[in-house]
Structure 1
């Protein structure tokens, strides 16, 4: 009987620890995000350009929101000479299958989820010439 209780206790402890680990690696991309970095790579994987949006106030004010109803909302800002100017809010549709998010706008854009934790999201966009961009986001609280 003691062995059975010990085994059940061990199974419970192991199942609890694996749940917390999987929540971190399988965190939902649903929610509001702001862009931190955009990194451009050649088709061979060589980094050739990095944009640091976290240090540019107007671009860092821009948010991207994935809603549970399949809508993707982009609320963006640009800089005009002296001020941050809000652009019209854009709403698009998206679908999600496996590690791919497909956003339907003027063009269909497929983004591959590279990393998805509770606070960070990295998406990969592959270009026709096989060069690619990694876009790094942080969750907006």
Structure 2
């Protein structure tokens, strides 16, 4: 069984819980183990918060929106969060934040909660950043949409 959805959200803090609730609801309905669901929802929250904060400004040609896409396919969940900010000149490396830093822990947290994380620039003319991560799923006993 495969499930996927995509949202185009305004770059506002109020959009982050919407994406998180949709992901949790999808995984709960499909029968994903609650611990996996929680971990992925926290990772999604961090990725969305980064898109809201760093995702570009309309005044500089960036969009006031970002996109969240989630795929539950067989035994894996893959999530992508794409914005239209400045992007990176090369593939971004995740570095630990300083112990006294007030910001900068989100990408490290995503890396701890997911099996694989990739961060890079969008190849289109509009630019922007894509944060994608995936995790192998575990299923509740008797899950209604259990992968076969």
**Band of TM-score, shorter chain:** under 0.3
Larger Rg: 1
| TM-score normalised by L of structure 2 | 0.25
Which protein has the bigger helix share?
A: 2
Higher relative contact order (CA 8 A, sep 6+): 2
